Structure 1
Amino acid sequence: MIEAALIGAAVLLIGVIIGQIGLSQRLRKDAGINENR
Protein backbone atom coordinates (compact mmCIF):
# COMPACT_ATOMS: atom_id res chain seq x y z
CA MET A 1 0.00 0.00 0.00
CA ILE A 2 2.87 2.36 0.77
CA GLU A 3 4.44 1.70 -2.63
CA ALA A 4 1.13 2.39 -4.38
CA ALA A 5 0.79 5.67 -2.47
CA LEU A 6 4.32 6.71 -3.43
CA ILE A 7 3.68 5.87 -7.10
CA GLY A 8 0.41 7.83 -7.03
CA ALA A 9 2.13 10.84 -5.45
CA ALA A 10 4.93 10.69 -8.04
CA VAL A 11 2.40 10.56 -10.90
CA LEU A 12 0.53 13.55 -9.46
CA LEU A 13 3.78 15.53 -9.08
CA ILE A 14 4.81 14.73 -12.65
CA GLY A 15 1.36 15.77 -13.90
CA VAL A 16 1.57 19.09 -12.04
CA ILE A 17 5.07 19.77 -13.39
CA ILE A 18 3.97 19.01 -16.97
CA GLY A 19 0.90 21.22 -16.50
CA GLN A 20 3.03 24.11 -15.23
CA ILE A 21 5.42 23.74 -18.18
CA GLY A 22 2.50 23.70 -20.62
CA LEU A 23 0.98 26.83 -19.06
CA SER A 24 4.32 28.66 -19.12
CA GLN A 25 4.79 27.77 -22.81
CA ARG A 26 1.26 29.00 -23.60
CA LEU A 27 1.91 32.26 -21.75
CA ARG A 28 5.19 32.73 -23.64
CA LYS A 29 3.42 32.09 -26.97
CA ASP A 30 0.66 34.58 -26.08
CA ALA A 31 3.28 37.15 -25.05
CA GLY A 32 5.14 36.62 -28.33
CA ILE A 33 1.95 37.07 -30.34
CA ASN A 34 1.08 40.24 -28.40
CA GLU A 35 4.60 41.60 -28.97
CA ASN A 36 4.36 40.89 -32.71
CA ARG A 37 1.06 42.77 -32.84
Structure 2
Amino acid sequence: MVTLGQLTKKVEFLEKRVKQIMKMLQMVPIVAPWEWES
Protein backbone atom coordinates (compact mmCIF):
# COMPACT_ATOMS: atom_id res chain seq x y z
CA MET A 1 0.00 0.00 0.00
CA VAL A 2 1.36 3.37 -1.03
CA THR A 3 0.83 6.34 1.26
CA LEU A 4 -0.27 9.73 -0.03
CA GLY A 5 3.11 11.22 0.90
CA GLN A 6 4.97 8.65 -1.17
CA LEU A 7 2.59 9.26 -4.05
CA THR A 8 3.11 13.04 -4.03
CA LYS A 9 6.89 12.54 -3.92
CA LYS A 10 6.67 10.27 -6.96
CA VAL A 11 4.50 12.81 -8.79
CA GLU A 12 6.94 15.64 -8.00
CA PHE A 13 9.84 13.48 -9.20
CA LEU A 14 7.99 12.69 -12.44
CA GLU A 15 7.22 16.38 -13.01
CA LYS A 16 10.92 17.24 -12.62
CA ARG A 17 11.85 14.49 -15.09
CA VAL A 18 9.25 15.74 -17.57
CA LYS A 19 10.55 19.31 -17.30
CA GLN A 20 14.13 18.09 -17.87
CA ILE A 21 13.03 16.13 -20.94
CA MET A 22 11.08 19.13 -22.27
CA LYS A 23 14.18 21.34 -21.93
CA MET A 24 16.27 18.75 -23.77
CA LEU A 25 13.64 18.53 -26.52
CA GLN A 26 13.63 22.33 -26.90
CA MET A 27 17.39 22.24 -27.59
CA VAL A 28 16.90 19.66 -30.34
CA PRO A 29 15.22 20.90 -33.52
CA ILE A 30 12.00 18.92 -33.63
CA VAL A 31 11.29 17.18 -36.92
CA ALA A 32 7.74 16.02 -37.39
CA PRO A 33 7.35 12.37 -38.50
CA TRP A 34 5.68 13.44 -41.74
CA GLU A 35 8.75 15.54 -42.61
CA TRP A 36 11.18 12.60 -42.44
CA GLU A 37 10.34 11.24 -45.89
CA SER A 38 10.76 14.52 -47.78
Normalised-by-shorter TM-score class: 0.5 to 0.7
Identity of aligned residues (%): 0
Aligned twin of 1:34: none
Structure number with higher helix proportion: 1
Q: Would you identify which runs of 4 or more consecutive aligned residues in structure 1 move more than 2 Å?
A: none
* Aligned length, in residue pairs: 28
Residue 19 of structure 1 is matched in structure 2 by: 18
Structure 2 alignment gaps of length 5 or more: 30-38
Q: TM-score, normalised by structure 1?
A: 0.68
> Normalising by structure 2, what TM-score?
0.66
